Structure 1
Amino acid sequence: MDHIDRTMLELLQHDGRITISELSKRLALSRPSVSERMARLEERGVIEHYTARVAHAKVGLDILLFIQVSELKIPHLEFEHLIANEEAVLECHRVTGPINYLLKAAVPDMNGMRELIDRLIPYGTFNTSTVLTSPVAYRALLPRED
């Protein structure tokens, strides 16, 4: 991956709706060259997909939570299936150490948080933290320079 690919990744992560024409101008490449590079990055799995980042509070999900899950009472795969079907859970990561999973969830209010915890509590031990602020809510990912 060269400097142009890195710059393209940075531009796409800052504005996923940028046009091929605008990328072409900013990268000083022809539109076919830009399209070819994008296709290569997609084929190699560097670009997984394109999406919009939605502000959780703007869609009525005012409380953002991180939930540490430990001491599972059911098999891991069963828990993962359960969590995959839990709409409030935005992310689920199986992690090392005394914690089995780290979940990121968004709920509308304290009642929503209580309901989520009540649904999950039969399956393990949970430690919930409510997000107060997010000084770094998102950061563009770029390949390491060797």
Structure 2
Amino acid sequence: MIDTIDQQLIAALMEDSRLSLKTLAGISGLSSPSVGERLRRLEERGIIRSYTVDIEPKHFGYLLQAIVRIRPLPGQLQEVERQIQSIPEFTECDKVTGDDCFIARLHVRTMDHLDSLLDRLNTYAETNTAIVKKTPVKRRLPPLHE
């Protein structure tokens, strides 16, 4: 498990993954070398998987975001998964239980762009698409404590 100090470090890094060891030391009350060691252990244990940058796709021309529910046709499950993986505009995809096998997030420039990408799946699957109007809850961690 992780302790309160680990939780503080993770929460701080979730807000800004570029925080220095010195800043993290100030937040946690530890020395910079101690913080570095804790982070190394969290990485080794797979608790911290990466440090990343959060970009706004609109600045790259991706004006629309869609959630796509994907139901492969009989015998096409693996081909649908390959197709999704090969289309870089799919930025997230979960394999789920229920009628639809995949729920994916897709960023596109226009409605025509969306249609052209979904056409690539139509041979292998049925799709149901919803355009995202707003994201009231951004991706976040669940509570780190009980």
TM-score, length of structure 2 as denominator length:
0.93
Structure 2 residue ranges without an equivalent (≥5) = none
Structure 1 residue ranges without an equivalent (≥5) = none
Query: Do the aligned partners of 2:13 and 2:19 also contact (CA within 8 Å) in 1?
Result: yes
C-alpha distance in 1 between matches for 2:73 and 2:40: 42
Query: Do the aligned partners of 1:6 and 1:142 also contact (CA within 8 Å) in 2?
Result: no
- TM superposition shift of 1:59: 1.4
Aligned length: 145
Matches within 5 A, 1:34-73: 34-73=35-74
C-alpha distance in 1 between matches for 2:68 and 2:10: 31
Query: Do the aligned partners of 1:63 and 1:131 also contact (CA within 8 Å) in 2?
Result: yes
Deviates more, 1:80-89 or 1:124-133: 80-89
Deviates more, 1:125-134 or 1:79-88: 79-88
Which residue of structure 2 lines up, in the alignment, with residue 102 of structure 1? 103
- TM superposition shift of 1:62: 0.6
- TM superposition shift of 1:20: 0.7
TM-score, length of structure 1 as denominator length:
0.93
Query: Do the aligned partners of 1:61 and 1:107 also contact (CA within 8 Å) in 2?
Result: yes
Query: Matched residue of 1:5: which SS?
Result: helix
Query: Matched residue of 1:111: which SS?
Result: helix
- TM superposition shift of 1:113: 0.9
- TM superposition shift of 1:72: 2.8
* Structure 1 vs Structure 2 CA RMSD: 1.3
C-alpha distance in 2 between matches for 1:142 and 1:9: 11
Which residue of structure 2 lines up, in the alignment, with residue 31 of structure 1? 32
State the identity %: 32
Letter in 1 for 2:85: A
Which residue of structure 2 lines up, in the alignment, with residue 6 of structure 1? 7
Letter in 2 for 1:38: L
